[in-house]
Amino acid sequence: MSYFLARRIAGFVLTLWAVSIVVFAVMNVLPGDPALTILGLDSTDEARAALRERLGLDAPVVQRYLAWVGGALRGDLGQSYSFGVAVSGLIAERLPLTVSLAISGMTLTVCLALVMGLTAAARHGRAGDWAIMLFSQLGIAVPVFWLSMLLVLLFAVKLRWLPPGGFPGWSDPVAAARALVLPTVALALVQSAVLARVTRSAALEVMRLDFVRTARASGFAPGHIMWRHVLPNALVPIVTIVGLQFAGLVTGTIVIENVFYLPGLGRLLFQSIANRDLVTVQALVMLFAAIVVTANFLVDIAYVLIDPRLRAGRA
């Protein structure tokens, strides 16, 4: 167990390191002079050179990379060109919103997907199965920004139940939660469509196994058998897809935050790209990558928690 854990942690750290190199390399071969962007087209060569020196852009690449990583490890992500403040401060302000959105989106995704997937599996080949699979096919086909606009038109403009966008801040938790309802639903409907299909086929696979027959012969109710015997055994493929979907969810928040005018990391990334704010973009891309790598690390840990056979095999 501890050997397995040590290997996973080593893999996790190595992956993050590789990601940091890739992110840094990509950002530093991009065309566009940050000094020109900040100072404007009518700035003098001398002024731009001075700014480049102040930002450390004229140092050798390796030295800049080490400075960036070293700073990031201390929590210093550099100064944003366009906002003129520390990037870490920009991120800290917006992180709670994006994290809340990601967590609520993922939670709703998993709940919807499990209910839809298990219900479809239980009604395999019958009308309920077809209806759920048709619904999930729609969910897969529909782009998230278009679904978001439909939701806004219906629930905000027509019915006026929920705000169409914007974020009132955390001081009023009820208003904050109401502002997150539509974005969460938009994210989850699309994500759960895929996950419901995975859940259904994983459950059908498990339902063929002998121990399900044993449970039935023991007189257990179908719902009990589904949730307590079939689902746990179907979890490994489900958790794998959840880990992969986390990447989709993070990119999904970029789109969603722009559609709903939510001041989160996705919106910050969008603005920073528009401003050629390389330092901020670099920090955010690294952060998003780190979130995805962490999610997949947690999935690896989850496998072992789910299946005692893996604990024995890799101890």
Partner 1 sequence: MIALHNLTVRTTGGHVAVRGADLAIQPGQRLGVVGESGSGKTLLALSMIGMVPEGLQVDGQVLVKGETIAADDERAWRRHRARTMAMIFQEPMAALNPLVRVGDTVAEPLRLHLGLDRAAARKRALDLFEETGIPQARRRLGQYPHELSGGQRQRVLIALALACDPDLLIADEPTTALDAQVALRITDLLVRLSQDRQMALMFISHDLAAVSRTTHDIVVMYGGDIVERGQTVRVLSDPAHPYTQGLLAARPSLMHRERRLPTIPGTVPQLFALPPGCRFAGRCARELPQCVGTRPPVVATPTGQAACHLPGAGQT
Cβ at position 231, least distance to partner 1 in Å: 10
Residues 277/27, Cβ–Cβ less than 8 Å: no
With a CB cutoff of 8 Å and minimum separation 6, the contacts of 286 are 19, 20, 23, 72
* Residue 30 in the binding site for partner 1 (CB under 8 A): no
Cβ at position 115, least distance to partner 1 in Å: 21
Cβ at position 223, least distance to partner 1 in Å: 12
* Residue 69 in the binding site for partner 1 (CB under 8 A): no
Cβ at position 218, least distance to partner 1 in Å: 5
Query: What DSSP letter does each residue of 123-137 carry, written as one string?
Result: TTTSHHHHHHHHHHH
Cβ at position 267, least distance to partner 1 in Å: 42
Kindly identify the residues of this chain, within the stretch 184-243, that bind partner 1 according to CB under 8 A: 209-211, 213-222, 224, 229, 232-233
With a CB cutoff of 8 Å and minimum separation 6, the contacts of 13 are none
Cβ at position 198, least distance to partner 1 in Å: 19
Q: Which C-beta is closer to partner 1: that of 160 or that of 309?
A: 309
* Residue 126 in the binding site for partner 1 (CB under 8 A): no
Rounded Cα distance between 197 and 136, Å, is: 7
* Residue 274 in the binding site for partner 1 (CB under 8 A): no
Q: Which C-beta is closer to partner 1: that of 75 or that of 232?
A: 232
Considering only the stretches 39-47, 161-169, 292-300, 302-310, report the one whose residues sit in contact with partner 1 under the rule CB under 8 A. 302-310
Instruction: Enter the tokens of residue 94.
Output: 């917006």
Rounded Cα distance between 242 and 152, Å, is: 27
* Residue 63 in the binding site for partner 1 (CB under 8 A): no
Q: Which C-beta is closer to partner 1: that of 39 or that of 306?
A: 306
Q: Which C-beta is closer to partner 1: that of 211 or that of 261?
A: 211
Considering only the stretches 100-108, 168-176, 257-265, 301-309, report the one whose residues sit in contact with partner 1 under the rule CB under 8 A. 301-309
Rounded Cα distance between 52 and 299, Å, is: 42
Q: Which C-beta is closer to partner 1: that of 43 or that of 218?
A: 218
With a CB cutoff of 8 Å and minimum separation 6, the contacts of 300 are 8
* Residue 74 in the binding site for partner 1 (CB under 8 A): no
Query: What DSSP letter does each residue of 254-294 carry, written as one string?
Result: HHHHHHTT--SHHHHHHHHHHTT-HHHHHHHHHHHHHHHHH
Total residues contacting partner 1 (rule CB under 8 A)?
A: 22
Tell which phi-psi region holds residue 78, choosing left (phi > 0), alpha (psi between -120 and 50) or beta.
Answer: left
Q: Which C-beta is closer to partner 1: that of 127 or that of 141?
A: 127
CA angle 106, 89, 276 (to 5 degrees): 85
Rounded Cα distance between 281 and 164, Å, is: 28
Cβ at position 96, least distance to partner 1 in Å: 36
Rounded Cα distance between 77 and 96, Å, is: 18
Cβ at position 238, least distance to partner 1 in Å: 14
Q: Which residues bind partner 1 (CB under 8 A)?
A: 209-211, 213-222, 224, 229, 232-233, 306-309, 312
